[in-house]
Amino acid sequence: EDQVTQSPEALRLQEGESSSLNCSYTVSGLRGLFWYRQDPGKGPEFLFTLYSAGEEKEKERLKATLTKKESFLHITAPKPEDSATYLCAVQVYGDYKLSFGAGTTVTVRA
Amino acid sequence: DSGVTQTPKHLITATGQRVTLRCSPRSGDLSVYWYQQSLDQGLQFLIQYYNGEERAKGNILERFSAQQFPDLHSELNLSSLELGDSALYFCASSRDRSDEKLFFGSGTQLSVL
């Protein structure tokens, strides 16, 4: 069974304090790994898709990287508006669904 | 705004009852997905429809059913409700059947008392 594990469960940062979130996965035939952001009371919002080991994607203060067993979401010099739950998901070949991890809740204090 | 509309936003009902959740996908999107999110289970895939046909099934209970209509809106029917069915139910849509970029609605918060 496909498994997606995110760590840590929660992360409290001071504004400007860079950090990384981890997403490790155990799947057969990874088609893609995805990062979503979810704000309280809202649906997840798409951030990135990574397809192969070594790939990197950036958006503002966020940078996602992928290896053969895990992905990292780096938050550089975070601001309070970066506070959210960050979800990692995988899709395997032959399957249309996304399997999500439990998420990492990031709180950035001013 | 993702362009995906879910109604109602909140639903409070009693055990044993039946409810219907509605989803209108983004304009032009043919694929609709239903997910359940609870504190202990995270975001769990329930079912996917593509252009009116069921494409994939996840951990959906037999008490739950869904359909996608010719105008592409979808409904999720939950029956014989139990306390454990209380959760946030999300609908998401995408352009085609394997597009991984999903656009999520704001969800329906279901409370079973």
Alpha-carbon gap, residue A20 to A76, rounded angstroms: 9
Contacting residues for B27 by C-beta, under 8 A, at least 6 apart: B3
C-beta atoms of A42 and B98 within 8 A: no
- CA count, 13 A, side-chain hemisphere, B73: 11
Distance of CA A51 to the CA centre of its chain: 14
Residues of B in contact with A31 (CB under 8 A): 100
Omega prior to B8 cis, within 30 of 0: yes
Round to whole Å and give the CA distance between A38 and B39: 14
The pLDDT value recorded for residue A97 is: 83
pLDDT tens-digit profile of B84-111? 999 999 999 998 766 668 999 999 999 9
Walking along chain A (110 residues) 10 residues at a time, the average pLDDT comes out as 89 97 92 94 93 95 96 97 96 86 96
- Across the interface, whether the CB atoms of B104 and A31 are under 8 A apart is answered no
Q: What is the per-residue pLDDT across B59-85, written as a single tens digit (0 to 9) for each?
A: 899 999 999 999 999 999 999 999 999
The two tokens of residue A77 are: 């010099």
Residues from chain A contacting residue B26 (CB–CB below 8 Å): none
Give the pLDDT score at B97.
64
Q: What is the pLDDT of residues B29-54, one digit of tens each?
A: 999 999 999 987 889 999 999 999 99
Distance from A47 to chain B by nearest Cα, in Å? 9
3-class secondary-structure state, position A81: helix
Take residue B80 and report the two structure tokens written for it.
């014989």
Q: For residue A106, give how far its alpha carbon lies from the nearest alpha carbon of chain B (Å).
A: 16
Give the model's pLDDT for residue B96. Answer: 72
Which tokens sit at B60? 């959906």
For A61, A99, B9, B30, B110, the CA distances from B107, given in Å and listed in that order, are 27, 18, 6, 19, 9
CB-nearest partner of B45 from A34, A46, A99: A99
Residue B84 DSSP symbol: G
Residues of B engaging A, defined by a Cβ cutoff of 8 Å: 2, 4, 31, 33, 35, 42-45, 48, 55-56, 58, 90, 92, 97-98, 100-107
pLDDT at residue B2 in the model? 87
